[in-house]
Amino acid sequence: MNEHGETQEHPESAEAPGPPPGQADAGKGPRGVVLPAKKYRLKIVLLFCDLWAAIAAGYYCMIRNIVRADEFSWFSLRMISTYIVVGLTAAAVFAGYILVKTKSVRSRIERDNELRQDPNINVWLTAFDWSWLILFVPSMAALVLCGVVGCFINWLMPENAANPVVQRAIGGFAFGFFCLNAAVVLFKLTPTRVLVLLLAVGGFCLMLLLMGTSVFLGFFGKFKYLGIRIDPFGYLLMAYVGFFYLRLIWICGLFDYITMSPNRLDIQRGLSETERGIQRKDFRVSIDTEDVILRLFKVGRIIISFPHSDRLPISLLVTGIDKKARYAMQAASVLSLDVGQ
């Protein structure tokens, strides 16, 4: 799916800005520093490089059809390509003109840059919900690894009899890793539960060893039936599909996010200016990082509740929870702001 921009610290995440510890409290006056707007163009270009490449290739093919085709017909390939090129170009120009002229779109990037350039705010947080799919990023990384290893095995021993055995072993590893990842997502693995799980697995293995080495090896030998042979490019395709959905979540997070600043919580929904402001006394902030595996990958939940209204709590699954939790608690703890001269 804008951390902060103080001169002393520049975190990599782009969703949760705020000052590093040691800055003056917001109640003691404005920081007096206007931070430069963060530039997201390079990030967007890299994040959607395959999309830009597909658009460029599509335009190239259609323009080639327009230039090279000799026959003329209102429904020929040449004219259909012309309709598509003219229509897409006109729609893009019109949409860009409307957005720039009216400035009706309220994106997370624009909102974060406004806060960065406000000299009266020295702590803030902008965040969006990555949803449960972000928890399967380790599985996507494992699929990429399996795909690369599978391609290397096919190149190293294409006709060897051991190739199918190795490919099934790689498939079994991918399947087992996905099951483990799903178990982490479904069950909160607190340190106590992890300890109990390790003790249970260790006790089970010890019991099998006491029953005999043949029983121990025979039990684990059954796992060979979990071997799944998948073409190496199949692993890469599955990883790409997961990455595609993560980018969709990131795009949705541009227009569905929360902004927390001293004394105020803004909830943005949709493309237009529809945010609703909530005063500090009307909401509570809590951090959920009990899952030891998620904490290892710096993933956690920021939960915002509204005890004085019937509004449902807001739960945001975010990355970089160690820094964003600190910024959220700092922003929620500020009670007043002095106005600068």
pLDDT digits (tens, 9 = 90+) for 73-119: 777 778 888 888 899 999 989 888 877 776 666 788 888 888 887 77
Position 62 pLDDT exceeds 80? yes
**Residues 174, 118 within the same domain:** no
Last residue of a domain, one of 198, 217, 247: 247
| Nearest by Cα to 285 from 311, 306, 312, 261 | 306
- H helix and E strand count, the chain: 11, 7
Asked if residue 226 and residue 268 are part of one domain, the reply reads: no
141-200 residue pLDDT tens? 999 999 999 899 888 887 777 788 888 888 888 888 888 888 777 777 666 777 888 898
Residues 147 and 120 both lie in one domain: no
Q: Do the domain assignments include residue 119?
A: yes
Last residue of a domain, one of 190, 217, 247: 247
Same structural domain, 161 and 193 = yes
What pLDDT shows up at residue 24? Answer: 41
How much is the mean pLDDT over the chain? Answer: 77
Question: In the prediction, which pLDDT does 30 show?
Answer: 43
Domain containing residue 258: 26-128+254-333
**Predicted pLDDT at 90:** 92
How high is the pLDDT of residue 155? 85
Same domain, residue pair 282 and 182: no
89 lies in some domain: yes
Q: Tell me the C-alpha distance between 331 and 341, whole Å.
A: 22
In a domain, 13, yes or no: no
Does residue 213 sit in the same domain as residue 243?
yes
- Judge whether 338 lies within some domain: no
- Do 168 and 253 meet the contact criterion of CB atoms below 8 Å apart? no
Look at residue 292 in the predicted model and tell me its pLDDT: 67
Note whether 258 and 124 are same-domain residues: yes
Decide if 167 contacts 229 (C-beta within 8 A): yes
pLDDT at 252 over 80: yes
Given a cut of 90, whether residue 237 has pLDDT beyond it is: yes
Last residue of a domain, one of 199, 221, 247: 247
3-state SS class at 320: coil
3-state secondary structure 180-214: HHHHHHHCCCCHHHHHHHHHHHHHHHHHHHHHCHH
pLDDT digits over 12-34, tens only? 334 444 444 444 444 444 444 44
141 and 242 in a single domain? The answer is yes
Amino acid 104: pLDDT? 64
**Residue 93 to residue 76: CA distance in whole angstroms:** 26
Question: What tens digit of pLDDT does each residue of 283-318 get?
Answer: 888 887 766 667 777 888 888 888 877 788 888 888
Claim to verify: residue 121 and residue 267 sit in the same structural domain: yes
Model confidence band, residue 11 (pLDDT cutoffs 50, 70, 90) = very low
The two structure tokens encoding residue 14? 């782009």
* Number of separate domains in the chain: 2
Residue 216 covered by a domain? yes
